[in-house]
Amino acid sequence: MIPIDTYTFYDIFDVDSLQKLVDSLSASLQVGISIRSPQGERFTADSQYCRFCPDIIKSSSLGRVLCEQSLLSLCQGQEASPRICRCRPSGLINAGIGITVDGLHMFSIMVGQVRLAGEEPSEEEYRSIARSLQIDEDSYLEGIRRTPVKTRKEFENILDTLSLLAEQLSQLGHKNLYLRSLIDALESQELVHQKQRDILETLAERDSMTGLYNRRKFEEAVALYARQKDRRICMISADANFLKLTNDIFGHEPGDLLIKTMAKIMKDLAKSDWLVARCGGDEFRIILPDTSLETALDYCRRVARNCQKDKSLNLPLSIAMGAAEWISDTETLEDCFTRADAKMYQNKTVLKHEQRVHDYIMERLYDKQILDRRAVKAITDMTREFGLYLGFPKERAEETSMAAHYQDIGMAKLPESFVIRGQSRTEEETCQIHMHVSHSYTMARLFDELYMIADIIHCSHENWNGTSYPNGLKGEQIPIEARIIHLVSDYISLTLPTVTGGFLSKDAAKKRLAANAGIVYDPKLVTRFLEFLEKKQY
């Protein structure tokens, strides 16, 4: 059987059915229930039988953080017997029941939102919790009182019931794992047969992805035309630019789309008797019978021009091309193609230096109004000036400014539906939005011009107190350049009028920065930044 650690929770269990089960149990038992991974990932949505936690506790940002921390400690427990603890921000009782499948801790049942009769904190303790979370005390107490009370025995009976359910789920997981393993074994056999079919397909004359002729057909044509020395024949070598970069950043589907789009342009502009072939991943070859070199070069220019006009892809649609006319008296047709190929590589080197892909990505983000051009420029310029004000050498200030400019380039990797202005987002979508910082870091490392600032970009959204993303860095763990970018970016977003912000006066924005010193921002930097704003009269 295939090892269990090759499977995920979703491979073994029907999440929709589990969701219905926990919703029903939550309503029947009058407890909050959810199923989470050992790392805290939600496998089912939280089934909340009362509104105290979502409406009151999670109205506080600190409350949300502490709530998740409390649940995470329970998620990590592998014991089948319930682990019981009191939730820090709510004072309510929570429990976690670990579930293993074939010895692997796969998930836990979270049980919570329970008041235990005779074991509750005092009213003053509740009020103290509310004050620490900056929640209105009376609203907090009212929410607590609306939460039903259970006896210790009632709660233990509920946990016994859910422990039996956990045992059944563990057994069900084992059976599902066994069946899934059998299915995968059959699918592996099917893959062998598919490879055999693929081998037969490669013997056909068409490329399955683009519909162009394939290498085999091209080589047959070369052999045919090589015997027709009295004909005027041109050869073109073409190579798609940025295919690997597209695959690395956006995945293989956008990479395939790049190839398909380019193939269509070349096919549409070619004469009917020309043979256009895809001979490799990003490699194209064209035979142009009864064609002059001037016509072949004009074709190359038209293809390049149409590629430049196309703005539908994540990266520039760009192709390097080289053309040569066959000198049949002194060379073979293969020699002619070798000359065309050499010219193509010369063209590719020129294009590589001319095209700044990272700036193209930023332009796309501006065009889609995912980023605001004026805001990015303002952040970039102020970051540079503040760095110089702090005594940074010019080169270091420029690097920090560049990191500020490209800090959100990873937005390009997110589905557009997640970043459309004004559209409400789910919690999962918000988490994916936060992932754009890691995407920005990964993308920066792919560009020679941005490689040195990738680490700064990766930390540019961290909070001084360690409550932000992507890694929860705290204090001076965060590079000072990243702390500067965070401070400047927030000031600009608060004061520069855009579709997403700029609703505060400069004085109000300064007060907000000062209020968050030591929480969101480096307190020493806040002091220097406010001095900087005053001195520069921003």
Side-chain half-sphere of 136: how many Cα atoms within 13 Å?
7
DSSP state of 81: S
The amino acid at residue 196 is Q
- Is residue 208, in this structure, part of any structural domain at all? no
Q: In this predicted structure, what is the pLDDT of residue 13?
A: 87
Q: In this predicted structure, what is the pLDDT of residue 426?
A: 78
426 and 365 fall within a common domain: yes
385 and 514 fall within a common domain: yes
Residue 285, strand partner residues:
237, 277
CATH assignment of the domain containing 343: 3.30.70.270
Beta-carbon contacts of 269 under 8 Å, excluding residues fewer than 6 positions away, are 299, 302, 303, 306
332 and 417 fall within a common domain: no
- Is residue 154, in this structure, part of any structural domain at all? yes
The two tokens of residue 255 are 């990479």
Question: Do 408 and 457 meet the contact criterion of CB atoms below 8 Å apart?
Answer: no
Backbone φ, ψ for residue 218 (5° rounding): -60, -45
**Final residue before a domain boundary, out of 310, 325, 354:** 354
In the block, residue with structure tokens 């563990």? 170
Give the Cα separation of 482 and 404 in Å (integer): 8
74 and 133 fall within a common domain: yes
Backbone φ, ψ for residue 104 (5° rounding): -100, 125
Please give the residue range of the domain that contains residue 324: 215-354
Query: E strands within 207-292?
Result: 233-240, 275-278, 283-289
394 and 499 fall within a common domain: yes
Give the Cα separation of 320 and 339 in Å (integer): 14
Question: Do 74 and 110 meet the contact criterion of CB atoms below 8 Å apart?
Answer: yes
Which tens digits make up the pLDDT trace of 432-477? Answer: 888 899 999 999 998 989 999 999 999 999 999 999 999 999 999 9
296 and 177 fall within a common domain: no
- Is residue 201, in this structure, part of any structural domain at all? no
Beta-carbon contacts of 179 under 8 Å, excluding residues fewer than 6 positions away, are none
424 and 317 fall within a common domain: no
Which stretches of 355-479 are DSSP H helices? 357-367, 373-389, 394-406, 427-434, 436-444, 454-458
The whole-angstrom distance between residue 292's C-alpha and the CA centroid of its chain comes to: 48
Question: Do 162 and 97 meet the contact criterion of CB atoms below 8 Å apart?
Answer: yes
Q: Which residues of the chain have pLDDT under 50?
A: 421-422
319 and 394 fall within a common domain: no
Give the Cα separation of 489 and 379 in Å (integer): 6
Q: In this predicted structure, what is the pLDDT of residue 113?
A: 85
161 and 228 fall within a common domain: no
- Is residue 419, in this structure, part of any structural domain at all? yes
CATH assignment of the domain containing 415: 1.10.3210.10
Q: In this predicted structure, what is the pLDDT of residue 420?
A: 53
Q: In this predicted structure, what is the pLDDT of residue 3?
A: 63
Number of compact structural domains in the chain: 3
- Is residue 315, in this structure, part of any structural domain at all? yes
- Is residue 196, in this structure, part of any structural domain at all? no
Which stretches of 355-372 are DSSP H helices? 357-367
- Is residue 186, in this structure, part of any structural domain at all? no
Q: In this predicted structure, what is the pLDDT of residue 484?
A: 96
**Final residue before a domain boundary, out of 328, 354, 380:** 354
330 and 366 fall within a common domain: no
176 and 49 fall within a common domain: yes
Q: In this predicted structure, what is the pLDDT of residue 203?
A: 65
Q: In this predicted structure, what is the pLDDT of residue 418?
A: 58
508 to 60, 163, 504: CA distances (angstroms): 22, 53, 6
250 and 121 fall within a common domain: no
Q: In this predicted structure, what is the pLDDT of residue 1?
A: 52
Q: Helix-strand-coil percent breakdown of the chain, rounded to 5?
A: 55, 10, 30
CATH assignment of the domain containing 46: 3.30.450
- Is residue 276, in this structure, part of any structural domain at all? yes
The amino acid at residue 256 is D
**Final residue before a domain boundary, out of 307, 325, 354:** 354
